[in-house]
Amino acid sequence: MCRANGAPEPAGTGGAAGTDAAFTALLEDSAEDLYESAPCGYLSTMMDGTIAKINTTLLDWLGLEREAVVGRKRFTDLLTVGGKLYHETHFAPLLRMQGELRGIALDLKRQGGGRLPVLASAVVKYGAQGEPLLIRVTAFDASDRRSYETELLHRRKEAERARAEADEARRQAEADRARLADALAVLQRSLVPDSLPAVPGLETAVHYHTAAPEQLGGDFYDLFPVAGDRWAFFLGDVCGKGPEAASLTSLTRYTLRAAAHHDPEPAAALATLNAVLHERYTAGGDPRYCTCVFGIIEPGGEHGPTIVRLASGGHPPALVLRSGGRAEFLPTPGGLLVGVLPDAPISTVETVLAAGDTIVLYTDGLTEARTGPGRDDLYGEDALRVFGTDLAPAAPGEVITALTGLLDSFGDGLNDDTALLALGVPADSSLIRPATSLPS
């Protein structure tokens, strides 16, 4: 059987007769029963707060007997200490002023301990002459809501605590990174000279670019006097990064210094370094190596030629910018990586620097910089020679400044440390500029 609109009759209602019976039962529900058994608490008080009437629902919630409440207790007697304070300072004054309150959160005391959170609404009943007669209060059990709010508050505090811990961890990590960067910078500076010494009859300039401040680089250089009027210089790159590379750099630098004072011949100095690295690392099953170019320069003074002798162990060739406006590489063929083999073949080349000539040493961070839209191409030695040709003639300081700008132009394509060292004879040999150091 269906209703007139086509919807089926609810099961078990007996159709229209069942519906009429349900309505009849509702009509027979007395107002008193509805009051006493309502799903919320009801109470009425005199204007002084004395409870004049309270329903069974509220009595059951609080575990109280009617005889112990009606006419014997005031509304405030049902409240917790905090509830009494709020009633005196807010609830009662606002009720007198406004005549009604809605949705006030209060805690009622249960018999035998415990509390019942409720949302209370109150209204003042007035007489025919407008005089206040009594106060009617409705209380809804807010236990579930209070639990929900407590859980939300707990979760919020947990989230705030987690966020605070994350912020503190981030600040600590940033501080740790800053301290590490400072420590690495100090250690990095200890591996290369802060500046170059002034060399009579020469101009010098240097630049060191660190690709990753959080890692120790492996590039190195130095310039120092040896026997007579000669000066030794070297520049190179060790394998790897970090503390192990720093240890290898330190060993390499001090080995070359000691070797140069014993025998300043470039090939002899690199042969000594090769023997030390091979014995220390490769022979023990932990191969470590470096590329290096080592040179001896003997300034010629105002009238004599400046002679440069170079030896290389697997290092890119030096670039010479001539006073006539051309640039050329100074190849050192046959040099192998230093430290790989017990006896590495090392060749030596010699050149003369005239007034206005500059020789430039560099590590492969320069020539292996990535270029092009997709960073797929290497800058390369050909591009460097063209760059030098366009620059020549140029003093060491001018060359290093131009190359520093070139490094900056690579952007994120420059992903390796790069060391640059330039030595040159002034165009006017009577004017000797001080040594120049350009920090990264």
Please tell me the least confidently modeled range out of 61-75, 113-127, 178-192.
178-192
State yes or no: pLDDT of 432 exceeds 90. no
| Overall average pLDDT of the 32-36 stretch | 89
**Cβ–Cβ < 8 Å for 290, 236:** yes
Tell me the CATH number for domain 192-438.
3.60.40.10
pLDDT band for 74, please (50, 70, 90 cuts): very high
Report pLDDT for 189.
66
**Rounded CA gap, 355 and 324, in Å?**
10
In DSSP terms, which residues pair with 328 in a beta bridge?
320
State yes or no: pLDDT of 37 exceeds 50. yes
Q: In degrees rounded to 5, what are phi and psi of residue 379? A: -60, -50
* Higher-confidence position of 182 and 97: 97
Report pLDDT for 195.
83
Closest CA to 104 of 85, 93, 91, 123: 91
| Overall average pLDDT of the 250-264 stretch | 93
* Higher-confidence position of 113 and 54: 54
What's the pLDDT tens digit per position in 94-104? 999 999 999 99
**Fold: same for 37-141 and 192-438:** no
14 dihedral zone (left: phi>0; alpha: psi -120 to 50; beta)? left
**Cβ–Cβ < 8 Å for 293, 236:** yes
Q: Which residues of 214-225 are buried (b: 16+ CB within 10 A; e: fewer)?
A: ebbbbbbbbbbe
What's the pLDDT tens digit per position in 199-232? 999 999 999 998 876 677 789 999 999 988 899 9
| Overall average pLDDT of the 269-282 stretch | 94
State yes or no: pLDDT of 62 exceeds 60. yes
Which CATH fold topology does 37-141 show?
Beta-Lactamase (3.30.450)
**Cβ–Cβ < 8 Å for 211, 414:** yes
Domain ranges of the chain: 37-141, 149-191, 192-438
Q: Strand pairing of 436-438 and 203-209? A: parallel
What's the pLDDT tens digit per position in 343-398? 988 989 999 999 999 999 999 999 999 998 888 899 999 999 999 999 999 999 99
pLDDT band for 3, please (50, 70, 90 cuts): very low
